[in-house]
């Protein structure tokens, strides 16, 4: 279905937009935005943009999940963020005028709209609300990452796993978490084997249920207390 449906996506009918940075537009602006965008279909595992390449615009997720990650020296991925419908990805590097320092890849089949750099910058120039929204968003993410850094530095893998699962609960809208063990490990920042052992612990403690790949969170409260704070 999704393979074709991207042809019918518009800003006007975009579900994600309501909760996004682009939610305040009047219908004229919306039409303008809509006419400067092109929707594409991305297959699971397909790259949205590559670490090291130059930004040509921004990507607005209409449907699906996209992981934002960085490769360490040994090639191991560290997942920095998982973006869902409504989120715009790839605009940070655009502002720095440097190549992407992170990569983005579809975690599942996605429909994603592209807005060219010029168009997007013009939009920002003429639209103070969008501008403020973006600045606010950048600032929020900075705070999130300060948190992330602190967690990485001070928490055990078990605590970080709990913390990560809480994030994923939100990303997956309380539906079962559906990620490869490797991606999960790369988000938590641990070895895949360690992650698997800890998942088993959580299962034994009745915090989660596991269906091969899918993880159901049973006891959210418990996760909160393990994650600390």
Partner DNA sequence: CGAGCGATTGAAAAGACTCAACCACCGTGG
Partner DNA sequence: CCACGGTGGTTGAGTCTTTTCAATCGCTCG
List of residues contacting DNA (CB under 7 A): 156-158, 180-182, 189-194, 196-197, 199-200, 210, 212-213
Provide, rounded to whole angstroms, the least separation between the CB of residue 62 and a copy of itself: 23
**Residue 134 β-bridge partners:** none
Go through the chain and tell me how many residues it has.
229
Nearest to 226 by CA among 195, 197, 205: 205
The residues that touch a copy of itself, with contacts defined as CB under 8 A, are: 70-74, 76, 78, 80, 92-98, 101-102, 125, 128, 131-132, 134-136, 138-143, 145-155, 189-190, 228-229
Alpha helices per DSSP H over 74-219: 91-96, 117-126, 128-154, 157-171, 181-188, 192-204
Q: How far is the CB of 101 from a copy of itself (least distance, A)?
A: 4
11 vs 185, beta carbon nearer DNA: 185
Please say which residue, 73 or 173, places its beta carbon nearer to a copy of itself.
73
Partner from DNA, a copy of itself, none binding residue 96, C-beta < 5-8 Å depending on class: a copy of itself
Q: How far is residue 93's CA from residue 139's CA, in Å, rounded to a whole number?
A: 15
3-state secondary structure of 47: strand
Contact of residue 127 among DNA, a copy of itself, none (CB under 5-8 Å per partner type): none
Q: Which residue, 144 or 182, is less far from DNA as judged by CB?
A: 182
Residue 119: what are its φ and ψ, rounded to 5°? -60, -45
Angle at Cα 223 formed by Cα 108 and Cα 83, nearest 5°? 25
Residue 170: CB minimum distance to DNA, A: 21
Residue 69 sits at the vertex; the CA angle it makes with 186 and 131, to the nearest 5 degrees, is 140
Choose the contact partner of 209 out of DNA, a copy of itself, none; CB within 5 to 8 A by kind: none
CB of 40 to a copy of itself, least distance (A): 24
Residue 119 structure tokens: 């168009």
């Amino acid at each position: 279905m999704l393979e074709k449906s991207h042809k019918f996506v518009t800003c006007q009918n975009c579900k994600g937009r309501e909760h996004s940075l682009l939610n305040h537009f009047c219908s004229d602006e919306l039409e303008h935005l809509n006419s400067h965008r092109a929707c594409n279909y991305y297959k699971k595992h397909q790259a949205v943009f590559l670490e090291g390449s130059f930004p040509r615009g921004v990507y607005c997720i209409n449907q699906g999940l996209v992981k934002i990650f960085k490769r360490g020296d040994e090639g191991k991925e560290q997942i920095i963020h998982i973006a869902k419908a409504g989120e715009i990805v790839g605009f940070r590097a655009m502002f720095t005028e440097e190549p992407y320092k992170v990569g983005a890849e579809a975690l599942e089949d996605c429909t994603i709209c592209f807005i060219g750099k010029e168009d997007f910058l013009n939009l920002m120039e003429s639209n103070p609300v969008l501008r403020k929204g973006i600045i606010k968003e950048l600032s929020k993410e900075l705070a999130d990452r300060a948190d992330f850094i602190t967690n990485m530095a001070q928490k055990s893998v078990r605590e970080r796993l709990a913390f990560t699962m809480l994030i994923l609960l939100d990303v997956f809208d309380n539906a079962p978490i559906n990620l490869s063990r490797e991606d999960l490990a790369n988000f938590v920042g641990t070895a895949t084997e360690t992650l698997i052992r800890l998942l088993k612990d959580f299962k034994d403690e009745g915090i989660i249920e596991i269906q091969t790949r899918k993880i159901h969170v049973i006891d959210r409260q418990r996760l909160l207390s393990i994650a600390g704070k």
